[in-house]
């Protein structure tokens, strides 16, 4: 279902214009998302979802639609693995309809979707998934390797993390990864880190949020991604990034860094979950739920408010941070697990 309504049409036109302007630049593409002055920014984050509506994907989508209608969200962020198990086969792949257009049908979800790629997306035709032709089919779908979404008080840095894990390159097993436009790995990562660092240093936004597919910190099946801890995390710390949000592990979790203000949020419960894996982590576990659901985020000049919701629309956990003094404010939560 394509974006409808006058307000949504204006947003789609504005995004399209910034996309065209960004194509002429060698820097990370920057999209300006229109915001209403004085109103908080509201969005949903979901990851690891594309299963033709199965494994509770449709039920999560239904609850997202209900929540989005109540809160009038501005957009949706996807943390990757958008089409499981093997990405898209081409721009005309029926999976685009069956796993995206035919699932997220609520009128309240007819807003821009900003998507990063996951490792399963790289098992298909990556160039098809980032092809602007998909936006002609459904104008919501805005997927690139790495880019910036600037929304007034916040800059979102969406980062292509799949090239980082060395195992995908040296020991992929029976899996095939589409490295067109990426290989050689070392040069791609070096250039990406430089571009991300440059963009973050230029940012004057109140909040800086990095989004990637792979975990930085996690207590679930995949655990920490060492390559990101070694290569990307120093860039985030150097540039005072507030939050890193990811998917990859099919769960919902919040982990606090013990040596910096950065917070790690996993929103990878868009469909198949319940892996039954728990492992200890060096940083502080604030919340872990081994099931399906999504993350909501509301930001204003002074506060960022996070909440996890399950497949029934039940609020599982609330947390907020005050920007004024970086004081952590723990709100009452349900089902939270602490270290």
12 burial type by CB count under 10 A (0-12 exposed, 13-18 middle, 19+ buried): buried
Question: Known binder of ligand: residue 248?
Answer: yes
Are 282 and 339 within 8 A, CB to CB? no
* CB count in 10 Å sphere of residue 179: 16
Extended beta strands in 144-289, E state = 147-151, 154-158, 207-211, 243-246, 252-256, 263-267, 284-289
Extended beta strands in the chain, E state = 29-32, 41-46, 75-78, 113-115, 141-143, 147-151, 154-158, 207-211, 243-246, 252-256, 263-267, 284-289, 293-299, 303-310, 315-322, 328-329
Question: Known binder of ligand: residue 33?
Answer: no
Sheet containing 41-46, strands listed edge to edge, beginning at the edge strand earlier in sequence? 141-143, 113-115, 75-78, 41-46, 293-299, 303-310, 315-322, 328-329
Q: Rounded to whole angstroms, how far apart are CA atoms 11 and 16?
A: 9
Are 82 and 125 within 8 A, CB to CB? no
* Segment 224-230 long-range contacts (CB within 8 Å, at least 24 positions apart): 224/281, 225/161, 225/164, 225/165, 227/164, 227/165, 227/166, 228/161, 228/164
Query: Which DSSP letter does residue 258 get?
Result: S
| Active-site residue list | 222
Question: Known binder of ligand: residue 97?
Answer: no
Question: Known binder of ligand: residue 48?
Answer: yes
Are 42 and 297 within 8 A, CB to CB? yes
Distance of alpha carbon 143 from its chain centroid, rounded? 11
Annotated binding site: 48, 81, 119, 213, 248, 250
Annotated binding site for Fe cation: 48, 81, 119, 213, 248, 250
């Amino acid at each position: 279902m394509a974006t409808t309504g006058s307000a949504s049409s204006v947003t789609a036109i504005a995004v399209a214009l910034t996309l065209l302007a960004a194509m002429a630049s060698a820097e990370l593409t920057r999209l300006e998302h229109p915001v209403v002055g004085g109103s908080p920014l509201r969005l949903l984050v979901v990851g690891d979802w594309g299963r033709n509506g199965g494994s509770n994907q449709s039920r999560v989508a239904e609850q997202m639609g209900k929540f989005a209608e109540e809160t009038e969200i501005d957009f949706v962020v996807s943390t990757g693995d958008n089409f499981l198990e093997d990405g898209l086969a081409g721009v005309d792949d029926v999976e685009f309809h069956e796993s995206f257009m035919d699932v997220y049908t609520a009128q309240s979800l007819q807003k821009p979707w900003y998507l990063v790629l996951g490792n399963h997306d790289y098992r298909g035709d990556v160039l098809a998934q980032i092809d602007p032709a998909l936006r002609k089919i459904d104008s919501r779908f805005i997927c690139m390797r790495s880019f910036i979404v600037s929304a007034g008080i916040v800059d979102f840095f969406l980062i292509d993390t799949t090239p980082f894990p060395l195992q995908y390159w040296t020991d992929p097993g029976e899996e095939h990864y589409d490295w067109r436009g990426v290989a050689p790995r070392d040069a791609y990562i070096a250039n990406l880190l430089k571009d991300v660092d440059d963009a973050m240093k230029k940012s004057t936004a109140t909040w800086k949020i990095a989004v990637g597919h792979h975990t930085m910190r996690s207590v679930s099946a995949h655990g920490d991604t060492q390559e990101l801890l070694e290569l990307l995390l120093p860039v985030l710390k150097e540039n005072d990034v507030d939050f890193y949000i990811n998917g990859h592990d099919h769960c919902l979790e919040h982990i606090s860094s013990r040596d910096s203000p950065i917070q790690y949020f996993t929103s990878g419960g868009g469909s198949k979950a319940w892996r039954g894996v728990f492992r200890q982590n060096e940083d502080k576990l604030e919340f872990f739920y081994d099931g399906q659901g999504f993350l909501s985020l509301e930001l204003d000049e002074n506060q960022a408010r996070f909440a996890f919701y399950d497949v029934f629309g039940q609020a599982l956990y609330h947390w907020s941070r005050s920007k004024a003094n970086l004081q952590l404010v723990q709100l009452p939560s349900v089902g939270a697990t602490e270290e």
